[in-house]
Amino acid sequence: MRNEVIFFINGAEHRAGGEGVFQTLSRYLRYDQRATGTKIVCEEGDCGACTVLIGRREGKGLRYRPVNSCIQFLFQLDGTHVVTVEGLSRNGLTPLQESMVRTHGAQCGYCTPGFVMAMAAMYEGGARPASPADVRSALTGNLCRCTGYEPIIKAALDVNGQPAIDDLFPPAPIVEALPNGEGVRIGNFFKPASLAQAIEFKAAHPKCVIVQGATDFGVWCNKRGFVPEAVLSLDAVPGLDELRIEGDELHVGGRTTLAVLEEFVEGKIPQLAKILDRFGSPQIKNAGTLAGNVANASPIADSLPFLYVTGATLELSGSTGVRNVPVEKFYRGYKTLDLQPDEIITRVRIPLPAAADSLRLYKVSKRSHLDISSFTAAVLMRRRADQIESVRIAYGGVGPVVLRLPKTERFLAGRPFALETFEEAGPIARSEITPISDVRGSADFRYLLAGNVLRKFYYDVR
């Protein structure tokens, strides 16, 4: 068992132990390493100024993805290679940086290193953006206050011969030197190499926080002064990265990131891919996990309405074995879970919607991307000819937990598939929810959405 984490930054080995592992990567870069190209602005994952690439083992090489370094902690970096803007520019400006200069893509320049790192990710693996829409999507997590986005988008498209990170940092020596699958214990931080050890630690430290992507945890620490009593990482627990279709179910391992899930369901569950496209930003999805979204228990978590209507089950592993809990039964009240202190979500099992079923997922937010939902909805309907056979409806943002709408579902079942049916269902749906007014919308607005979304569903699937 090691008592330090080992990672690489721009091709050089770093080791960290003691209290130092609890600092964020952005602070380590700027204040310990004087690598000030990486900027800190919001320190909560919202602006992208701190974007770096993190390379993790994939097959025999490293796969680099953009991540917000302000909500990544050193203890999360064990076994990774971090590339910052200084590393990208190690042989001088790369073609994409030259393109930023040519198109006047920077004014004050504070956001520029973050943009450049997110753009570099677009050119990884032989890819390149084909259209402004591709660029906008890849740069969702980067904000610029002064230049305006048009020159930046132009710069991202007008690039020739951008080197891959593997060209700048040949992977073989790094991969060979990085630790792989070994346990780490540093004070109250534990990265066990087996599930049994993880459960044992969680039982002994009931208040410990499982930190996966830290996209929720990082914000609590940076903005609310949260200090965890103990931290458990699942990174070295074998099997938790599984992602496969077995029979008519999708199995998502407890460590699967939202980005990996999005890539996997593209073409298989298009509605889920669409809602994941609206989830945070690439930087957030490259770190954040589905299990983290479920465990964080926000009533506006974007994955939950889908999990409710498909009838997903959570596999919870603890000292006494494995329990399977339907996701709907998992939430006992606002942020109150049916999760024992020693239990870990090891898998989410999702029944696949049948080909003939109509599924629609909705997210209403003030901005279309990188915004917290005001209201979410999922509707899954089975139809026979012109009659509704059955419907499952779940709404988020209208109560302390995501809600199923049993009265509305009963009303719709057996009725004709017609606009009037869905209009009549609206008031019933409104009677089943208890929204409040907050910064994201008034209760009245949410009541309105609760009815209108059913009408939208009708138009979307007719």
Ligand X SMILES: Cc1cc2nc3c(=O)[nH]c(=O)nc-3n(C[C@H](O)[C@H](O)[C@H](O)COP(=O)(O)OP(=O)(O)OC[C@H]3O[C@@H](n4cnc5c(N)ncnc54)[C@H](O)[C@@H]3O)c2cc1C
Is 145 an interacting residue with respect to ligand FES (CB under 6 A)?
yes
Going by C-alpha positions, the residue among 408, 378, 219, 375 that lies closest to residue 308 is 378
Q: Is 216 in the site for ligand X (CB under 6 A)?
A: yes
With residue 411 as reference, give the H or E element that holds it: helix 406-412
Which DSSP symbol is given to 151? H
Nearer to ligand FES, 110 or 445 (CB): 110
Three-state SS at 295 = helix
Q: Considering beta carbons, is residue 41 or 413 the nearer one to ligand FES?
A: 41
Of 107, 137, 340, 421, which one interacts with ligand FES (CB under 6 A)?
A: 107
Instruction: List the structure tokens of 201.
Output: 């630690």
Q: Which of 36, 41, 104, 166 binds ligand FES (CB under 6 A)?
A: 41
Distance CA 74, CA 16 (A): 8
The residue (of 235 and 409) whose beta carbon lies closer to ligand X is 235
Secondary structure class of 30 (helix, strand, coil): helix
In angstroms, give the least distance from the CB of 189 to ligand X: 13
Report d(CA 135, CA 128) in Å as an integer.
9
Restricted to residues 225-284, the positions that interact with ligand X (CB under 6 A) are 254, 279-280, 284
Shortest reach from residue 150's CB to ligand FES, in Å: 13
Binding mask 42-81 toward ligand FES (x if CB under 6 A, else -) reads xx-xxxxxx-----------------x-x-----------
Q: Please, which residues have CB within 8 angstroms of residue 9's CB and are 6 or more apart in sequence?
A: 29, 33, 35, 81, 82, 83, 84, 87
Q: Measured from the CB atom, is 85 or 221 closer to ligand X? A: 221
Q: Which listed option, ligand X, ligand FES, none, makes contact with residue 96 (CB within 5 to 8 Å by class)?
A: none
331-350 residues near ligand X, rule: CB under 6 A = 344-345
Question: Distance between CA atoms of 94 and 140, rounded to whole angstroms?
Answer: 22
Residue with smaller CB distance to ligand X, 38 or 281? 281
319 Cβ contact partners less than 8 Å away, ≥ 6 residues apart: 199, 200, 203, 342
Can you list the alpha helix ranges (DSSP code H) found in 211-251? 217-224
Binding site for ligand FES (CB under 6 A): 40-43, 45-50, 68, 70, 106-112, 144-147
Residues near ligand X (CB under 6 A) are 44-46, 209-217, 219, 254, 279-280, 284, 287-289, 291-293, 295-296, 301-302, 344-345
